[in-house]
């Protein structure tokens, strides 16, 4: 593990078996995450983008080790190394009991601000919950910490007596952020934290996350499907397609000069606010995303790729460095090359 990394994911594979037949044998499996390696540097925000079902959230849940709780028969291979005060630990295969002592160091912000807060508990009780498990603070100290955290996320300390249903979506997401910060974690996994909020609130919550990242020295894995949101917050962006990483690079670079054909297609779909740039050709992909139960051989993107060749079916492309800090999993494109759209939008 490199020194500046706080989290390293090595060859992570997550698959969900499908049972069928008379005796519920395993008949197939969904390879939600297929051989993914990532590293998260200290203090950086790593954006993880891709369309629905590409395995972004599954990576998040596997890293934080709650995937086994929600779907007990999931199969997880590979390694997730977390840097802790006492050394590095591989947290992939820890049982829930063994994992408990590392939970304070890696926390998650959930997607849905409505269902991620227990409606029966007051805000104070929700935020102090991680303190109960990871510290031995007295009641008084805990309520002081809760008040301090509430102020940090832009709410009022008096609101700790209130219940979640008395808050708006954005306020609830702030409560979720305060809860995630309670134990001073090193790593935060933000699983689409703003996709359930409307645009003006999204900006507030993202700016809040950025401020808190500086103040608490957080390393964030930011999962989203909204590219402009990811570009705004991330120092590096990872693009995923069908459980595989197709491109990793510096945020601005990936956003403005994507290399991999899929990234180019994805980014050409982002609506541009400036009409001057609207003459840019869109790359329209044909067909649907193949089912993750039965993926195409070789390159998973070849069935929809505008520059696919016959040999794409024969080998699985690996990430190669295309330019300084930019990696793409396609041997047939180079940095700065733009794919000619086969279909003209206009």
Q: Which residues are near another protein by CB under 8 A? A: 61, 64, 66, 69-70, 72, 96, 99-101, 103-104, 107-108, 110-112, 115-122, 129-130, 133-134, 154-156, 158-159, 161-163, 165-166, 168, 170-171, 174, 176, 179, 183, 200-204, 206-208, 211, 232
Q: In whole angstroms, what is the distance from residue 232 CA to residue 236 CA? A: 11
Query: Which residue number, 69 or 315, has a Cβ lying nearer to another protein?
Result: 69
**Please, what is the minimum distance in Å from the beta carbon of residue 342 to another protein?**
32
Residue with token string 């849940």 = 61
Among 131, 130, 64, 126, which residue's Cα sits nearest to residue 99? 64
**Please, what is the minimum distance in Å from the beta carbon of residue 231 to another protein?**
9
- Give the strand pairing for 244-250 and 326-328: antiparallel
**Please, what is the minimum distance in Å from the beta carbon of residue 42 to another protein?**
21
Query: Which residue number, 72 or 275, has a Cβ lying nearer to another protein?
Result: 72
Phi-psi bin for 307: left (phi > 0), alpha (psi -120 to 50), beta? Answer: alpha
**Please, what is the minimum distance in Å from the beta carbon of residue 69 to another protein?**
5
- Contact call for residues 40 and 33 (beta carbons, < 8 A): no
Q: In whole angstroms, what is the distance from residue 39 CA to residue 223 CA? A: 14
**Please, what is the minimum distance in Å from the beta carbon of residue 36 to another protein?**
20
For 278-287, letters b (16+ CB in 10 Å) and e give eeeebbebee
- What does the block give as tokens for 20? 């069928």
Query: Which residue number, 91 or 330, has a Cβ lying nearer to another protein?
Result: 91
Query: Which residue number, 163 or 216, has a Cβ lying nearer to another protein?
Result: 163
Bridge partners (DSSP) of residue 132 are none
Query: Which residue number, 184 or 204, has a Cβ lying nearer to another protein?
Result: 204
Query: Which residue number, 120 or 276, has a Cβ lying nearer to another protein?
Result: 120
Q: In whole angstroms, what is the distance from residue 188 CA to residue 213 CA? A: 9
Phi-psi bin for 154: left (phi > 0), alpha (psi -120 to 50), beta? Answer: left
**Please, what is the minimum distance in Å from the beta carbon of residue 78 to another protein?**
20
**Please, what is the minimum distance in Å from the beta carbon of residue 110 to another protein?**
5
**Please, what is the minimum distance in Å from the beta carbon of residue 141 to another protein?**
18
Query: Which residue number, 1 or 208, has a Cβ lying nearer to another protein?
Result: 208
Query: Which residue number, 74 or 330, has a Cβ lying nearer to another protein?
Result: 74
Phi-psi bin for 210: left (phi > 0), alpha (psi -120 to 50), beta? Answer: alpha
Strands (E), 168-325: 187-191, 219-223, 236-241, 244-250, 320-323
């Amino acid at each position: 593990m490199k020194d500046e990394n706080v989290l390293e994911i090595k060859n992570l594979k997550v698959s969900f078996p499908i049972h069928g037949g008379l005796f519920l044998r395993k008949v197939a499996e969904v390879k939600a995450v297929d051989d993914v390696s990532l590293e998260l540097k200290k203090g950086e925000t790593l954006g993880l983008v891709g369309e629905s079902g590409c395995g972004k959230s599954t990576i998040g849940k596997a890293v934080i080790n709650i995937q086994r709780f929600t779907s007990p028969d999931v199969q997880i291979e590979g390694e997730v190394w977390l840097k802790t005060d006492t050394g590095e630990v591989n947290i992939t295969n820890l049982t829930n009991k063994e994992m408990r002592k590392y939970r304070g160091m890696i926390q998650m912000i959930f997607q849905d601000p409505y269902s991620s807060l227990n409606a029966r508990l007051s805000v104070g009780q929700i935020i102090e919950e991680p303190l109960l498990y990871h510290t031995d603070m007295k009641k008084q100290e805990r309520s002081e910490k809760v008040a301090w955290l509430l102020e940090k996320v832009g709410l009022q300390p008096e609101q700790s007596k209130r219940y979640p249903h008395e808050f708006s979506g954005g306020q609830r997401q702030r409560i979720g952020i305060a809860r995630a910060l309670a134990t001073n974690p090193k790593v935060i996994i933000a699983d689409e934290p703003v996709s359930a909020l409307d645009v003006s609130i999204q900006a507030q919550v993202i700016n809040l996350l950025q401020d808190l990242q500086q103040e608490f020295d957080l390393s964030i894995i930011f999962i989203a499907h909204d590219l402009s949101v990811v570009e705004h917050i991330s120092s590096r962006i990872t693009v995923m397609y069908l459980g595989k990483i197709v491109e990793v690079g510096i945020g601005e670079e990936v956003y403005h000069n994507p290399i991999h054909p899929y990234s180019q297609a994805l980014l050409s779909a982002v609506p541009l606010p400036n009409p001057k740039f609207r003459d840019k050709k869109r790359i329209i992909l044909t067909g649907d995303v193949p089912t993750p139960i039965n993926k195409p051989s070789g390159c998973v993107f070849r069935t929809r790729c505008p520059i696919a060749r016959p040999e794409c079916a024969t080998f699985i492309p690996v990430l190669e460095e295309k330019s300084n800090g930019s990696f793409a999993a396609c041997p047939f494109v180079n940095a700065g090359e733009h794919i000619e759209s086969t279909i003209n939008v206009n």
